[in-house]
Amino acid sequence: MKGWEARNAQWVEKLGLTTRDRVVADTAILLGVEPGAVYPTKELPEIALAPGVTARASWGKGALLETLTMEPGAEYPGHELTGEAITRVLNGSDTCVVDGRSLNLVQGSLLYLTEGIKRTLRAGPEGLRALEVFSPVRIDHLNLAGVEQGEDTDGSFPDQGVAASLEPGVVYAFDDMQRTPIVLPGMDANAPTAHARLMWGRNVMLSFVHMAPDSSFPMHIHPEDQLMIILRGEMEEGIIDTWLPMKGDSLDVILQPGGMIHGARLSPRGADVLDVVWPVRPDYVALHQEYASKS
């Protein structure tokens, strides 16, 4: 969807959409996907990280999403993180050595780590499939993906002053995370059809959203980038004046830069998605905290 900004501006005015005032840093990161286009995960750039360790990568200006695959017993060599990393295990298992401590990660485990931490991963006997989010974007991985960045590009941006919701080095159970109702203008606040498990570091937020069958999200905009992957079910994602089918069977991915109009129409199956939001959305932090205080 090249040149989307002009058409987007016309529809923002036509629909009377408003957004929050926020200045988002320009990181000068070169994108690997076209904004507003749907990509099956298998069509994303593949990164070879080690023997038996690969990842499919997509990214925006401030966050990198990787679908990590490790063969049984494969090792992701030790390395020092240059930014934040959040890992959710989809299936399989691994042992993650974090600064000398061994952590066992199984299906549904979630782990948050910060820059300067050294880690090594070794897949269990059934291998591993996991989602990993890095912020800032890892330049070394973009180079491995074949998208060379400018010589002076480091992907960094000013600290956002956000307190992380997760403790570094602690293994969380995904199913135990709080479910927060998501209600946008035009949605029934008394009967929410979408719930999200919200978690965030200092730089990036993960919103795992469950959307009910035959429900919908109204068209809206916000200043943060949103990189979405559908994990289960089927839906249509509204982008400006177009509706695009997305399927969980192919783990479809779409990048929606800050300010791009988007919405959703759900199939009879509903859908589960992950929205990688950069920078952290303050309204979602407030929503999460408000709901937690009532629980």
- Average pLDDT (42-52) is 97
Q: What Cα–Cα distance (Å) separates residue 23 from each residue in 123, 199, 259, 280, 282?
A: 41, 22, 11, 13, 13
166-170, 191-195, 200-204, 268-272 — which is least confidently predicted?
A: 191-195
The domain limits of the chain are 4-27+177-294, 46-173
- How would residue 2 be classed by pLDDT, with cut points 50, 70 and 90? low
Q: Which fold has domain 4-27+177-294?
A: Jelly Rolls (2.60.120)
Q: Rounded to an integer, what distance in angstroms lies between the CA atom of residue 67 and that of residue 90? A: 10
Q: Kindly state which CATH superfamily the domain 46-173 is placed in.
A: Jelly Rolls (2.60.120.10)
Looking at this protein, which amino acid is placed at residue 165?
A: S
* Residues 6+ away with beta carbon under 8 Å from 23: none
- Average pLDDT (50-60) is 98
Q: What is the pLDDT of residue 1?
A: 62
DSSP assignment of 60-116 equals -SS-EEEEEEE-TT-EEEEEE-SSEEEEEEEEEEEEEEETTEEEEE-TTEEEEE-TT
DSSP assignment of 199-228 equals EE-SS-EEEEEEE-TT-EEEEE--SSEEEE
For 211, phi then psi, to 5°, come to: -115, 130
**Predicted structure pTM score:** 0.96
Q: What is the overall mean pLDDT for the chain?
A: 96
| Beta strands at 180-181 and 75-80: parallel, antiparallel or unpaired | unpaired
Token pair 């719930």: residue: 195
Q: Are 253 and 227 in contact (CB under 8 A)?
A: yes
Q: Evaluate if residue 295 carries a pLDDT over 80.
A: no
Whether 4-27+177-294 shares its CATH topology with 46-173 is answered yes
Q: Evaluate if residue 187 carries a pLDDT over 90.
A: no
Task: Count Cα neighbours of 292 within 13 Å in the Cβ-side half-sphere.
Answer: 13
- How would residue 111 be classed by pLDDT, with cut points 50, 70 and 90? very high
Higher pLDDT, residue 214 or 2: 214
- How would residue 243 be classed by pLDDT, with cut points 50, 70 and 90? very high
- Average pLDDT (269-273) is 98
Q: What Cα–Cα distance (Å) separates residue 289 from each residue in 3, 199, 286?
A: 38, 11, 5
Q: What is the pLDDT of residues 15-34, one digit of tens each?
A: 999 999 999 999 999 999 99
Q: Are 89 and 284 in contact (CB under 8 A)?
A: no
- Average pLDDT (242-251) is 98
Q: What is the pLDDT of residue 185?
A: 81
